[in-house]
């Protein structure tokens, strides 16, 4: 079983994926495909996704029976003693939640007084 989730992807990529998988919701594709086809689809996704994001979860022979692949996303798969966990990428977490200093006039005035 393979599940692919695309965010902000071109329409042509969705058309390519519907040749092999069923689109059950906008940007969510599900189906049974061979490993060779899965590898080829992942390469096409990497070339065609442009500014979008892609996540693929597929069956594997590991202890969890799942394999995760992420392309241009703030989440990344991490192997922890044989178990794959999904962790937020530390560089994107820092940039997305950065607090600007002195973002208002009131803040600047308050800093000048102290």
CA dihedral 45, 46, 47, 51 (to 10 degrees): 100
The C-alpha R_g of the chain, in whole angstroms, comes to 20
Architecture of domain 2-113: 2-Layer Sandwich (3.30)
The pTM is what?
0.69
Average pLDDT, the chain: 83
Average pLDDT rounded to a whole number, residues 18-41 = 94
- Per domain, the residue ranges of the chain are 2-113
Span 36-61, mean pLDDT? 90
Query: Which string of b and e fits 78-94 if b means at least 16 CB within 10 Å?
Result: eeeeeeeeeeeeeeeee
Joined together, the tokens standing for residue 33 give 């495909």
| CA–CA gap between residue 70 and residue 64 (Å, rounded) | 17
Q: Give residue 93's pLDDT band: very low, low, confident or very high (50, 70, 90).
A: very low
């Amino acid at each position: 079983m393979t599940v692919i989730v695309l965010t902000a992807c071109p329409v042509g990529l969705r058309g390519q994926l519907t040749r092999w998988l069923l689109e059950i919701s906008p940007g969510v594709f599900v189906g049974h495909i061979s490993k060779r086809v899965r590898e080829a689809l992942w390469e096409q996704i990497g070339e065609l996704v442009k500014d979008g994001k892609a996540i693929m979860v597929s069956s594997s022979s590991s202890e969890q029976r799942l394999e995760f692949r992420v392309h241009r996303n703030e989440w990344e798969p991490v192997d922890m003693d044989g178990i794959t966990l999904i962790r937020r990428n530390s560089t994107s977490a820092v940039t997305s939640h950065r607090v600007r200093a002195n973002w208002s006039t009131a803040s600047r005035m308050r800093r000048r007084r102290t």
